[in-house]
Structure formats: structure tokens, C-alpha cells
Amino acid sequence: MEQKRKAWLVLADGTVLEGESFGAQGTSIGEIVFTTGMTGYQEVLTDPSYYGQIVTQTYPLIGNYGINLDDMESSASHVRGYVVREWCDQPSNFRVAMDIDQFLKQQNVVAICGIDTRHLTKKIREYGVMNGAVTTEYDRLDQAKLQEQIRAFSITGAVQAVTCQSAREEKSEKGLYRVVLMDFGYKRNIVRSLNSRGCDVTIVPASTTAQEILSMHPDGVMLSNGPGDPEENVGPIGEIKKLFDHGVPMFGICLGHQLTALATGARTTKLKYGHRGANQPVRDLARDRTYITSQNHGYAVEGETVDPAIGQVSHVNANDNTVEGVRYLRKPCFTVQFHPEASAGPRDTSYLFDEFIAMMEKEAE
């Protein structure tokens, strides 16, 4: 039996939590966040929106159905570290390819288990998101220097780190519509959701210009999710403004929602600890209904900065009333903060993809 190794979680406020190591060995610094999903840990680990972050799972047992090759939301893990109460070393699932420890080793993700994740989550909720480090070598490091590195850490260049390097196409069986997906760190189920509705999807890098996109003659443009501070993406914001002014149908998710708001003159703000999990209640104001949604974001659009002559808030978070969606009035464009493609999570809001299809049909007429 393999001897258990120690690991430490070191927080920017000086807190040091000792636990056991799993996954890769070493030291990794990042922004510590928590996610509340009871399932979907594989989707969390492979969601590019977690770039630069050390992810804490609030659900106490992680890994019971292992890792499979079908539910990857990108080709690799993008987290800077992983924190769980307990991981399952004997997963049970007919699709299982490996356990979570093997996957984290393969992806070089330093992880820690055996700490009080409830205590850690309460700390983040009280003080807000903070930097930290997961390390298996704390007893051998210069601890004062490590604290300096933790406090100095910031997530920069996130979209550039996760976007694709060249365009590629994912065809559907029917080929009814042509959609260009701007890749800010997209999840694969966005493409699956579009393909299943007859859309041929061309995935393009975040640096692609509006002119290049329009030269492809798309029926619509999809603006994907992604990591980091939305205001950092000055280039893409400018290109989205050009696409918006041109009037091509657009649908934005998560970071795409924030970038569209910035392109039309609104502002964004960083939340205290963000919304991450598969159980976030969102009110659709037009339908007068509340949906349970999957979310992963640390920034939000400031509703009072949305110009009422340009757009109106369409969805709000039922917990804290933050903006969850904007519908634009004079252009064929709408955006949402949550994930209607829902991997992992409820599929309550998949109707938004159907609305995007209807919008492209209307514009084509």
C-alpha cells in the first residue's frame, strides 16, 4: 500500500491547513474558489473558465464515478490546484477509464484531501476569494517567500492561455445554419448543443477580427465562456462592438455575456466569491419563472450601467439579484451569465439555444 504523503493548503491570510496529498507533487499558486456541485467534478476540472484557480469542492466525496473519456469539456485540465474532503480510490461506473488521482497526476494538478472544506468555504464566503497555494513541499520551502508569491499572484492573460490557436469546424448532420464560435475558453457542450440543432460550428481564436468572422458569412455568432477579468480583453471587446453594430445575430454565454456588455458601454465588477455550481436559481423576467442553472464566474455585469436605450436586464440571480442576462433592443443579440449548455448541471435553460436558432431564422428571412 502506498504511503500517504502530506500536503498543505496555504492561504494569503497566513492560514495553513495540513492534509494528505493526491494527484501531482509540487507547489501551485492560484486564486482559491469553491464550487457547490454534487456531481460534475470532471467537467469542473476540464472547464477552461477555471484557469488560474485552485478549486475547492464543497461536496465531501469526490471521484466516486471516476474519470471517463466522454465528458471532457476541453482537452486538458486548467485548474491550478484541487481541494476535496475525500476522494474515492475505487470508482464504480461502466464508462470509467481511470480514477481521479490518476487523472490529476496525468494533468500535473497538485491536489489535497483530508482538510475541513466546510471551514475553508465559510472562510471564503466571509472574507471573499483569496490567493493561496497547494503544496507537497511546504516543510522544505522558504515559507516567507511563498507567502510573498501568494500575495503577489494575479490571473492575467487568461483568455490567451486557453483559446484555440487556429480555426476548425465541427459539422452537424443537417447543416442548416453556419455559426462562428469565438473561443474565449469554450466548453465542448456548447458545440454539441449547436450541432444537435443543425448548426455547423466554426471555432475561431479569441483574436479573430470582426471582418474575418463576417467574411465567413455566418448565420450567427456565439460568444463563449472563458476565464479571467473581462475588462482585460480590450481587443475582443472592440471586435464584438463591430459585430454588434453590424447586426449579425449573437448569443453570449458567461464571459461572452460580460464582453458584450462592455462592448455596449456597460461595466462589470468582481463578486466577493462568485457563483460556481449547478444549483444557482435564476429568474427569467419575461417568462416570470425561476430556473436552476449551472454557473462558473467571478465577475458580473452592473445592471444600472446597461443603457436602457440599448438593452435591458432579462435575467437576475434569485439569491443576490446580480445580473444574469441582457436582451438587446435594436440588434439581434442576447446574452446570459449562466451556462444553458449545462455540463454538468440542469438543462432547464437549454431553450435559449432554440431562441438563438429562431433569431437566426428571423434574420435570414
Choosing from 43, 73, 324, 341, which is the catalytic residue?
Answer: 341
The span from the CA of 63 to the CA of 87, in Å, is 6
Question: 277 near 37, Cβ under 8 Å?
Answer: yes
Q: Residue 4: pLDDT band by 50, 70, 90 thresholds? A: confident
Write out pLDDT tens, residues 300-319.
Answer: 999 999 999 999 999 999 99
The span from the CA of 245 to the CA of 315, in Å, is 23
The span from the CA of 184 to the CA of 49, in Å, is 9
**DSSP per residue, 174-241:** S--EEEEEEESS--HHHHHHHHTTTEEEEEEETT--HHHHHTT--SEEEE----S-GGG-HHHHHHHH
Q: Residue 47: pLDDT band by 50, 70, 90 thresholds? A: very high
Second CATH level (architecture) for the domain 159-364: 3-Layer(aba) Sandwich (3.40)
Helix axes 234-246, 255-263, angle to 10 degrees: 70
Query: Dihedral angle at the C-alpha atoms of 56, 155, 346, 289, nearest 10 degrees?
Result: 120
The span from the CA of 151 to the CA of 165, in Å, is 31
Write out pLDDT tens, residues 271-293.
Answer: 999 999 999 999 999 999 999 99
Nearest of 91, 32, 88, 80 to residue 60 by alpha carbon: 88
297 in active site: no
The span from the CA of 9 to the CA of 81, in Å, is 10
The residue-averaged pLDDT of 257-269 equals 98
113 in active site: no
Nearest of 27, 73, 7, 80 to residue 46 by alpha carbon: 73
Choosing from 113, 199, 254, 333, which is the catalytic residue?
Answer: 254
The span from the CA of 275 to the CA of 337, in Å, is 10
CATH of 6-155, one of 3.40.50.300, 3.90.1330.10, 3.40.190.10, 3.50.30.20: 3.50.30.20
275 in active site: no
Asked whether the predicted pLDDT for residue 323 surpasses 70, the reply is yes
Q: Residue 1: pLDDT band by 50, 70, 90 thresholds? A: very low
The residue-averaged pLDDT of 187-208 equals 97
Write out pLDDT tens, residues 72-121.
Answer: 999 999 999 999 999 999 999 999 999 999 999 999 999 999 999 999 99
The span from the CA of 172 to the CA of 194, in Å, is 8
Write out pLDDT tens, residues 219-228.
Answer: 999 999 999 9
Q: For position 348, what pLDDT does the model report?
A: 87
Q: Is 255 helix (H, G, I), strand (E, B) or coil?
A: helix
Amino acid symbol at 134 = V
Asked whether the predicted pLDDT for residue 32 surpasses 60, the reply is yes
The DSSP letter of residue 70 is S
Write out pLDDT tens, residues 230-256.
Answer: 999 999 999 999 999 999 999 999 999
The residue with cell 440543432 is 197
Neighbouring C-beta atoms of residue 219, cutoff 10 Å = 20
Neighbouring C-beta atoms of residue 198, cutoff 10 Å = 13
Q: Which three cell numbers stand for residue 310?
A: 440599448
Q: For position 2, what pLDDT does the model report?
A: 58
Greater confidence (58 vs 4) lies with 58
Q: For position 347, what pLDDT does the model report?
A: 82
Domain boundaries, the chain: 6-155, 159-364
Q: Residue 158: pLDDT band by 50, 70, 90 thresholds? A: very high
Mean pLDDT score across all residues of the chain: 96
Write out pLDDT tens, residues 59-71.
Answer: 999 999 999 999 9
The residue-averaged pLDDT of 345-364 equals 92
